[in-house]
């Protein structure tokens, strides 16, 4: 049986993951309209991943005897000053998600809810990867600067990164 305080926080995390999916979907739309097909595909993939993270939480809460609740979502930004600003927002958001997961992990220890603590370790590891990826992308963007040719190559490379990542994901 799931601890009520933990269930409430898991439901908040469900909302965080759902909003993450929407944020990345909005980023994908913006990039696609700007002609950045690789960036758009990358963001569509990120949006799908966040939805999967949400569903994993939903199923966990319900299977542990709780009740997953789906709430209203805040509307994400739909325009960005530049693709660099967009990726900075992505990194900032991933840091926010990491903090949210870490707080949840902390509460599971306080409440001695070791099953949920164990379940959340996957999210802890996932957030380390997400932040590292965002930082690496921002490093590449900073190298490019205002070079349009560099932007073209970056857009192609990130599309390849998305295709490679998808090819390495084991099917469930």
pLDDT digits (tens, 9 = 90+) for 107-138: 999 999 999 999 999 999 999 999 999 999 99
Name the more confident of 108 and 1: 108
Q: What is the 3-state secondary structure (H, E, C) of the chain?
A: CCCHHHHHHHHHHHHHHHHHHHHHHHHHHHHHHCCCHHHHHHHHHHHHHHHHHHHHHHHHHHHCCCCCCCCCCCCCCCCCCCHHHHHHHHHHHHHHHHHHHHHHHHHHHHCCCHHHHHHHHHHHHHHHHHHHHHHHHHHHHHHHCCCHHHHHHHHHHHHHHHHHHHHHCCCC
Q: What backbone phi and psi angles, to 5 degrees, belong to 73? A: -115, 150
pLDDT digits (tens, 9 = 90+) for 23-74: 999 999 999 999 999 999 999 999 999 999 999 999 999 999 999 999 999 9
* Annotated binding residue 94: yes
Sketch out the chain's domains with CATH numbers.
4-168 (1.20.1260.10)
| pTM of structure | 0.89
* Annotated binding residue 159: no
* Annotated binding residue 17: yes
* Annotated binding residue 129: no
Element (DSSP H or E) covering residue 108: helix 83-110
Sequence-ordered strand ranges (E) for 33-145:
none
Sign of torsion over alpha carbons 118, 120, 123, 124 = negative
* Annotated binding residue 67: no
């Amino acid at each position: 049986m799931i601890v009520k305080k933990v269930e409430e926080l898991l439901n908040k995390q469900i909302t965080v993951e759902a909003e993450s999916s929407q944020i990345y979907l909005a980023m994908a739309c913006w990039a696609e309209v700007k002609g950045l097909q690789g960036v758009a595909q990358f963001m569509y993939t990120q949006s799908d991943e966040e939805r999967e993270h949400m569903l994993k939480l939903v199923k966990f809460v319900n299977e542990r005897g709780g009740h997953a609740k789906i709430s209203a979502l805040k509307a994400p930004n739909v325009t960005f000053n530049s693709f660099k600003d967009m990726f900075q927002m992505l990194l900032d958001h991933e840091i926010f998600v990491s903090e949210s997961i870490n707080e949840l992990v902390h509460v599971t220890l306080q409440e001695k809810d070791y099953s949920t603590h164990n379940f959340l370790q996957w999210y802890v590891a996932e957030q380390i990867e997400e932040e590292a990826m965002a930082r690496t992308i921002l490093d590449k963007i900073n190298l490019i600067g205002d070079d349009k040719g560099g932007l073209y190559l970056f857009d192609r490379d990130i599309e390849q990164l998305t295709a490679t990542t998808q090819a390495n994901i084991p099917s469930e």
